Amino acid sequence: MKILIKNGNVVLNDKIEVLDIVIDGEKIVEIGKDIKQTKDYKYINARGKYVLPGGIDVHTHFHMDFGGTYSSDDYVSGSLAGAINGITTYLDYAIMKKEKTFKELLDKKLQLSKNSYTDYGFHIALTRADNDILKEMESAKDLGISSFKCFMVYKKENMMISDDNLLKILKKAKTCNLLVNIHAENVDEIDKNIETFVKENKLNNYYHYLSRDEQVEYEGVLKALKIAKEADAPIYIVHNACKDGINAIRKAKEQGQIVYAETCPQYLNFTSDVYKKEDSQNYVCSPAIKNKESQLALWDAIYDKTIDVVATDHCPFLLKEKLWGINDFRKTPNGCDGIENLYPYMLDKANRGVISYLDAARLVSYNPAKIFNILFKGEIKVNNDADIVIYNPRNKYVFNKEEMSFSKSDYSIWEGYEYSGKIETVILRGEFLLKNNTPLAKIGFGKYIKRG
Ligand code: URP
Ligand code: ZN
Ligand code: ZN
């Protein structure tokens, strides 16, 4: 099928121009002015609207075995929730548990994700660093895996990587040209804080935040930077939420260290005051959402490009599960919803003049594709995949989970958010996922993306 998108404000990598785009099959085949419409084109009038590259959410946890249950979105519901809201590709975390090889884990994951609505890939989260694992890293790219993850936390969940092992993994990653993503918090400090709060019977969700406060994250980031420097390896620090941490990353970048920084909309939009609310459990995630100063520092880091990527860390649970910790924050499963709100949120900020549309596309599409080797995506360009989002800056709406959501979770931290514009059309490899607000996404259309 050929599609002609006419007269949209096309958000290219470095400028926005009123242009026409021709899609033939899965690809963008022509970009130009005054392209003539012929009979075999499906025609979309995008005048007054923004035409952007499809969103790439590089941080999801679908069907994650965590916190005594599984995250509530699987690859079907999670990808559909993203598809309708401009996320045409995602990278999910596949976490090594008892599997002996990456291949074994990847095979399971490919089975679970085969009905995905959108394109996808995986980061492998390592939970050990024995010789077999280090050896297998050498051939990870044959499986399409070019990024790994190390958690400096989650000891009791058997997901934590020690500092020594992190160093080993980073050294190996460096020799194999692989990127390691790091969840950076100081686990000893968290444990100490929790012990104190438990003794003092301070157990409501506000103490989740106080046990993983600004200092905890700052120390984790400093340590991650130090170990990466020792290994001389690039790193990607996931879900940054604190001022001193992001300032330390800025300094490391200035000194020439290769470090990429991610944050998430929940850290940009909320502050730790949410842990005083009646529905505090819904905001429990790690790192915890920090104070106002940190929120402002994250925006500063967006402005000066210290932050490279905004992704979701999408990991919602059912409300009844979130309520397990109502009298003991240690029992609240950690994670927030986000995939339905990432691109709408960033585009809302662009529409309100807080950032530019170029920023939104860079943070949610271009940089994720570049950093994680996702070829033919992340940019509106001839020969790239026709992954396209059309945004109407005048179509206001208020997010209403009950009526609008495709996620299987039964609450949203984004309930009631007033969006100033709306994603009206989403195209993935030339197929409509959403057309003029009508969902058309097809189950199983998503393809596994091998990354080299
Ligand atoms: O609270 C969170 N972020 N849950 C998902 C796991 C992680 O740390 O990314
Ligand atoms: Zn994490
Ligand atoms: Zn995560």
Q: Whose CA is nearest to atom 7 of ligand 1?
A: 286
Domain co-membership, 330 together with 228:
yes
Q: Whose CA is nearest to atom 4 of ligand 1?
A: 335
pLDDT of residue 8: 98
Domain co-membership, 355 together with 389:
no
∠ CA 190-193-194, nearest 5°, is 85
In a domain, 448, yes or no: no
Dump pLDDT digits (tens) for 172-228.
999 999 999 999 999 999 999 999 999 999 999 999 999 999 999 999 999 999 999
| Total of domains in the chain | 2
Closest ligand 1 atom to residue 154 Cα is 8
Please say if the pLDDT value at position 1 is more than 80.
no
In a domain, 138, yes or no: yes
pLDDT of residue 38: 85
Domain co-membership, 240 together with 343:
yes
Distance 215 CA to ligand 3 centre (A): 20
In a domain, 376, yes or no: no
Domain co-membership, 322 together with 389:
no
Dump pLDDT digits (tens) for 347-387.
999 999 999 999 999 999 999 999 999 999 999 999 999 99
Closest ligand 1 atom to residue 286 Cα is 1
Domain co-membership, 122 together with 153:
yes
Distance 380 CA to ligand 1 centre (A): 31
Distance 397 CA to ligand 1 centre (A): 29
Domain co-membership, 219 together with 203:
yes
For 119-146, what is the mean pLDDT? Answer: 98
Q: Which of 371, 392, 408 is the last residue of a domain?
A: 371
Domain co-membership, 317 together with 423:
no
Tell me, using a 6 A CB cutoff, whether residue 286 lines ligand 1: yes
Q: Which of 371, 405, 422 is the last residue of a domain?
A: 371
Domain co-membership, 430 together with 319:
no
Dump pLDDT digits (tens) for 275-304.
999 999 999 999 999 999 999 999 999 999
Distance 193 CA to ligand 1 centre (A): 19
Domain co-membership, 120 together with 252:
yes
Tell me whether the omega of the peptide bond preceding residue 368 falls within 30 degrees of 0, making it cis. no
In a domain, 150, yes or no: yes
Domain co-membership, 317 together with 427:
no
Domain co-membership, 411 together with 324:
no
The enclosing domain of 180 has a CATH number of 3.20.20.140
Q: Whose CA is nearest to atom 5 of ligand 1?
A: 335
Q: What percent of the chain has pLDDT over 90?
A: 99
* Least reliable range by pLDDT among 35-44, 94-103, 153-162, 251-260: 35-44
- Band of the pLDDT at 76, cuts 50, 70, 90? very high
- What average pLDDT does the structure give for the chain? 98
In a domain, 452, yes or no: no
For 251-280, what is the mean pLDDT? Answer: 98
Q: Whose CA is nearest to atom 2 of ligand 1?
A: 335
- Host domain of residue 208: 55-371
In a domain, 39, yes or no: yes
The enclosing domain of 23 has a CATH number of 2.30.40.10
Q: Are 204 and 172 in contact (CB under 8 A)?
A: no
Ligand nearest to the CA of 60: 3
pLDDT of residue 293: 98
- Band of the pLDDT at 236, cuts 50, 70, 90? very high
In a domain, 447, yes or no: no
Domain co-membership, 46 together with 174:
no
- Alpha-carbon distances, residue 260 vs 190, 230, 305, 306 (angstroms): 24, 17, 10, 8
Q: What is the pTM of this model?
A: 0.98
pLDDT of residue 176: 98
pLDDT of residue 39: 85
Q: Which of 371, 401, 425 is the last residue of a domain?
A: 371
Dump pLDDT digits (tens) for 18-40.
999 999 999 999 999 999 988 88
